[in-house]
């Protein structure tokens, strides 16, 4: 057994772990990185990258069916599903070098392709290595949660870890779970020619503003996706030509393929966390606001930290941990300024509080500013007028923003800057956005917040009247 001593040992080579390792080694720390699967973790191999690449293929196919709105003849897309998957894996291959073992070794990280598990509060083992580190960072991510639905073990089903490898187009894909994974993959498969049914136990896109989520769901339904809400999948069975998902009240959904997308389970089992005095719960590693576990030497970042589960959050967590472990500076992970986006068409983006949450938290002090994409000239030229923004404002400062529409995922970034820095609506109103861009929507919604104060205000009218009298 080889013994290694280092400043920082990172367990997991996904979005969070790689960000910690790259930052720490380039600032002078000695770093060991453990990864027992593929470098790049979920986002690169089974998550964000393949899903967005599949969505891009679906968007191309869908555009062909609606081109006549622009005076260009509609065409029925000829989809070669295997070639679509070649495109998906081509995109992964193009990004993979950035996350590769070679790149990290080139930066000076010692990369070990083994499972790390703790043997004491300051040591862990990984294969033939025993590693003693001043600080450990757990970045082991999450895996698809597969609930114990009767019959599921007797049929072939897919998760995000296997669906992208499927090279034949499903004739009818049943998706259990109407969260972001379910909705994104349902729309992409439908646009690539599959029949699709989504079964959602409660409300699809349930973490988002219900009115805005409804706009996305209406679009999916208009494209032919069947969405059944308020129905838990109770049992699964095999039929002559595929799979049946049994719902309450005797309702059955028949399909050829089944995708389970009902949430995530934190990867803690392999860690032997108890041997290091690290507390865990159902959400993952129990951490404080500094992302420190019950063992003060050990931090957790990304999906396993039991907070929001997004790649940009894993990257943000990495910065919080680097500040503390390298420089000994205090740093806390906040959530208010973290956006999330569902990459459906139209896109759905949220930051901070939804309208309902803002009203519960701030009562009558909340003001809502709204703006519709139909009033944006670029949205008109693109025929992308289905969309809205609303900003929840308390004492002149935004506490939440919801956006549905084209480029919502790009539009939301500005609001992260605004909320992170405690800026006011006046700062957004004061910016100049190029015309004609969809990003003018952000300025216009700030204008909508101020317009009743300016245009429906008798004092303003009186002052203007007086000034006009005295101006030369
Ligand atoms: C289908 C899908 C689409 C998504 N789309 C988006 C998106 O568009 N935008 C977004 O922001 N987020 C998206 N996400 C979420 C995003 O993928 C995750 O939030 C992100 O990957 C979390 O990064 P992480 O570093 O915490 O974990 P991971 O990327 O999962 O990395 C953890 C790594 O740790 C390794 N590991 C685990 N245990 C051990 C051990 N004991 N020893 C050694 N190695 C270990 C694993 O093999 C893995 O490689 C998506 C997720 C899915 C499933
Ligand atoms: N665009 C993005 O950023 C993106 C995309 C995909 C995933 N992700 C991340 O991955 C996480 C997991 O996504 P997800 O969609 O798997 O989970 P989720 O928890 O967001 O949604 C799962 C849905 O499944 C439903 N469900 C659970 N059991 C059910 C059953 N038996 N029958 C029917 N419905 C059932 C739940 O009510 C819920 O709405 C997300 O929360 C997000 O953090 C992000």
* Residue 126 within a domain: yes
467 vs 423, which has greater pLDDT?
423
The parent domain of residue 282 ranges over: 2-39+100-144+265-327
* Residue 216 within a domain: yes
- Distance (Å) from CA 419 to ligand 1 centroid: 26
Which helix H or strand E contains 438, and what residues bound it?
A: none
* Residue 462 within a domain: no
Report d(CA 396, CA 413) in Å as an integer: 19
Give, using CA atoms, the residue closest to atom 33 of ligand 1. 12
pLDDT digits (tens, 9 = 90+) for 6-61: 999 999 999 999 999 999 999 999 999 999 999 999 999 999 999 999 999 999 99
- Distance (Å) from CA 89 to ligand 2 centroid: 24
ipTM over 0.95: yes
pLDDT digits (tens, 9 = 90+) for 159-206: 999 999 999 999 999 999 999 999 999 999 999 999 999 999 999 999
Question: In this structure, are 183 and 200 located in the same domain?
Answer: yes
Ligand 1 pocket: which residues have CB below 6 Å? Answer: 11-17, 34-37, 41-43, 47-48, 51, 115-116, 139-141, 160, 181, 267, 270-271, 302-304, 309-312, 314, 343
* Residue 56 within a domain: no
Residues that constitute the known binding site: 52, 116, 140-142, 177-184, 200, 263, 303
Strands 242-246 and 195-199 turn out to be: unpaired
| Residue 456's pLDDT band (cuts 50, 70, 90) | confident
What is the number of structural domains in the chain? Answer: 3
- Distance (Å) from CA 44 to ligand 1 centroid: 8
In 3D, which of 205, 186, 218, 208 has the Cα closest to residue 412? 208
- Distance (Å) from CA 231 to ligand 1 centroid: 28
Token pair of 96, please?
A: 């993979």
Residues that constitute the known binding site for NAD(+): 177-184, 200, 263
Question: In this structure, are 352 and 432 located in the same domain?
Answer: yes
Question: In this structure, are 379 and 419 located in the same domain?
Answer: yes
Report d(CA 336, CA 420) in Å as an integer: 8
* Residue 468 within a domain: no
Question: In this structure, are 254 and 269 located in the same domain?
Answer: no
Q: What is the pLDDT of residue 293?
A: 98
Instruction: State the chain's mean pLDDT as an integer.
Output: 97
Ligand nearest to the CA of 347: 2
* Residue 51 within a domain: no
Residue 153: exposure state from Cβ atoms within 10 A (0-12, 13-18, ≥19): exposed
* Residue 85 within a domain: no
- Residue 169: give its domain's CATH number: 3.50.50.60
Question: In this structure, are 293 and 203 located in the same domain?
Answer: no
């Amino acid at each position: 057994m080889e013994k290694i001593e280092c400043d920082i040992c990172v367990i997991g080579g996904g979005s969070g772990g790689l960000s910690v390792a790259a930052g720490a080694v380039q600032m002078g720390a000695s770093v060991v990185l453990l990864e027992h699967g593929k470098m790049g973790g979920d986002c690169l191999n089974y998550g964000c990258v393949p899903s967005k690449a599949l969505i891009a293929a679906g968007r191309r196919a869908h555009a062909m069916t609606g081109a006549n709105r622009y005076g260009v003849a509609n065409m029925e897309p000829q989809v070669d599903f295997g070639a679509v998957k070649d495109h998906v894996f081509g995109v992964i291959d193009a990004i993979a070098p950035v996350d590769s073992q070679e790149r990290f070794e080139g930066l000076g990280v010692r990369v070990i392709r083994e499972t790390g598990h703790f043997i004491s509060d300051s040591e862990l083992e990984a294969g033939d290595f025993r590693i003693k580190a001043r600080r450990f960072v757990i970045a082991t991510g999450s895996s698809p949660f597969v609930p114990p639905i009767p019959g599921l073990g007797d049929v072939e089903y897919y998760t995000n870890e296997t669906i992208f490898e499927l090279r034949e187009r499903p004739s009818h894909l049943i998706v259990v779970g109407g969260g972001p994974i379910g909705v994104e993959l349902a729309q992409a498969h439908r646009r690539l020619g599959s029949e699709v049914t989504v079964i959602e136990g409660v409300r699809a896109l349930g973490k988002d503003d219900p009115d805005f989520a409804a706009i996305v769901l209406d679009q999916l339904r208009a494209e032919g996706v069947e969405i059944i809400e308020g129905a838990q999948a109770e049992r699964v069975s095999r039929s002559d030509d595929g799979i049946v998902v049994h719902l309450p009240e005797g309702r059955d959904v028949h399909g050829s393929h089944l995708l389970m997308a009902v949430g995530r389970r934190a990867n803690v089992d392999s860690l032997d966390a108890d041997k290091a005095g690290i507390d865990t719960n159902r959400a993952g590693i129990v951490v404080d606001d500094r992302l420190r576990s019950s063992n003060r030497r050990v931090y957790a970042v990304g999906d396993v930290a039991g907070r929001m589960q997004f790649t940009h959050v894993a990257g943000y967590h990495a910065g919080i941990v680097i500040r503390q472990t390298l420089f000994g500076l205090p740093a806390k992970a906040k959530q208010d300024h973290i956006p999330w986006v569902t990459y459906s068409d139209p896109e759905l983006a949220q930051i901070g509080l939804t309208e309902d949450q803002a009203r519960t938290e701030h009562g009558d002090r909340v003001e809502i500013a709204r703006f519709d994409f139909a009033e944006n000239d670029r949205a008109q030229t693109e025929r992308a007028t289905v969309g809205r923004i609303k900003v929840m404002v308390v004492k002149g400062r935004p506490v939440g923003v919801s956006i549905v529409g084209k480029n919502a995922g790009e539009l939301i970034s500005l609001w992260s800057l605004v909320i992170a820095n405690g800026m006011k609506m006046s700062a957004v109103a004061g910016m100049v956005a190029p015309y004609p861009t969809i990003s003018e929507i952000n300025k216009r919604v700030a204008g909508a917040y101020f317009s009743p104060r300016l245009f429906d205000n008798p004092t303003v009218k009186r002052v203007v009247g007086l000034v006009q009298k005295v101006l030369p």
